[in-house]
Chain A
Amino acid sequence: MTRTSDIIEMKVPAKPEYVGVVRLTVSGVANRLGYTYDDIEDIKIAVAEACTNVVNHAYEADQEDNDMHLNFGVYEDRLELIVADRGGAIDVEKLKNERGPVNSGQAIEELKEGGLGLFLIETLMDKVEIRGDSGVMIIMTKFLQRDGVDKSDHGVSEEIPKQ
C-alpha cells in the first residue's frame, strides 16, 4: 500500500532568508496530500525548526559547503521529511538533553532562549529520529489522518494480518 513514493529533494543555502522558502515548499507538498490546516501548520513549524538549527549551529561563517539538504518523501499515508547538514559529527545525546519545555517554577532570569526547537519538532510530528554522523540529520514523519483511521494503527504495516 505504501510501496511507491515520490521524492522531492532540495539544497538551499543555510541562511535565515531561505527558511521561509522551505516552509512554503513543504506547505505546498503537504497541502497537495490533503493534510488538515492544523497538520500543515505543524509540519511547517517542525521543518522550520530543523532548518533554523542548521542556520544557527551547523556551519562556521567561512565554511564552504554550507547548505541545508532537504528530502521530502511523499507516501500515500505519510510524509517523511529529512533535514540534514554537513557540519560535522555531533553528540546526539547532548542535543537531546538540552531540549524541553519551559518550567514555570524556574526564575525568569534562568529561562533559556534556546532548546525549544527540538522539543517542538518532537511534539508536533508523529515520529522523529536524529542522527549525528556527519552533521545533524533529523528525520520526521507525519501520518496522514483519514476518517475512521486511528492514529495508533499506523505504527505497523497494514498488509500484515494479525496472528
Chain B
Amino acid sequence: MNLDIQVTEGEHGNVAYLSGEVDVYTATKLKETLNPIAEQKNSDLVVDLSEVNYIDSTGLGIFIGVLKATEKSGSTLKLTGLNDRVKRLFEITGLNEVIDIEVDGRKEAK
C-alpha cells in the first residue's frame, strides 16, 4: 500500500513515473511532488501510470489540482500508461474530457 514516485527531467519536460496505489494515504506525497513541477513556467509534465494498480477520487482530485497549476504556469499535463481499471475511473468521472490522456496505440477503442 505504497506509492513510489520517480521524476526524470528530460529535454521536453518532466516525466513522473508512479508505481503502487494512489489513495488518501499516498496522496500527500504525490501532491507535494507533482505540484511544484506543475508550477514551473512553460514546462511539460507527463505522468506515467503504467505501474499504478489502484486510484480513487483522492488521486483524481490531485490530478485536477495539478492540471489547474499547469494552466496557471503555461505548462501542460499529460497522463500515459493507464490500465483499463484506472482509465475507466477517469471516464466515469468525466475527467478524460478535461485531462490529456494518451491512449495506448495497441488498444483500439471498441
A45-B89, A120-B57 given as contacts; is B98 within 8 A of A102 (CB)?
yes
Contact among A16, A52, A55, A104 for B98, CB-based, below 8 A = A104
A102-B98, A112-B64 given as contacts; is B24 within 8 A of A19 (CB)?
yes
Contact among A16, A56, A116 for B60, CB-based, below 8 A = A116
Contact among B21, B24, B57, B65 for A55, CB-based, below 8 A = B24
B93 at the interface (CB under 8 A from A): yes
Our count of residue pairs bridging A and B at CB distance below 8 angstroms stands at 84
By size class, the interface of chain B is: 20 to 34
B85 at the interface (CB under 8 A from A): yes
Residues of A within 8 A of B21 (CB): 20
Q: Determine how close the nearest CB of chain A comes to the CB of B50; give it in whole angstroms.
A: 17
- Cα of A109 to Cα of B83 in the assembled complex, Å: 27
Bitwise interface map of B from 2 to 37 toward A, beta carbon under 8 Å scored 1, else 0: 000000000000000000010111011000000000
Binding site secondary structure of chain A = helix
A19-B23, A20-B21, A114-B61 given as contacts; is B56 within 8 A of A49 (CB)?
yes
A residues near B (Cβ < 8 Å) are 16-17, 19-21, 23-24, 38, 41, 44-45, 48-49, 51-52, 55-56, 101-104, 106, 108-109, 111-114, 116-117, 119-120, 123
**Further pairs besides A49-B57, A111-B68, A112-B64: 10, Cβ < 8 Å:** A16-B23, A16-B28, A24-B1, A38-B85, A45-B56, A45-B89, A52-B23, A101-B92, A102-B94, A119-B93
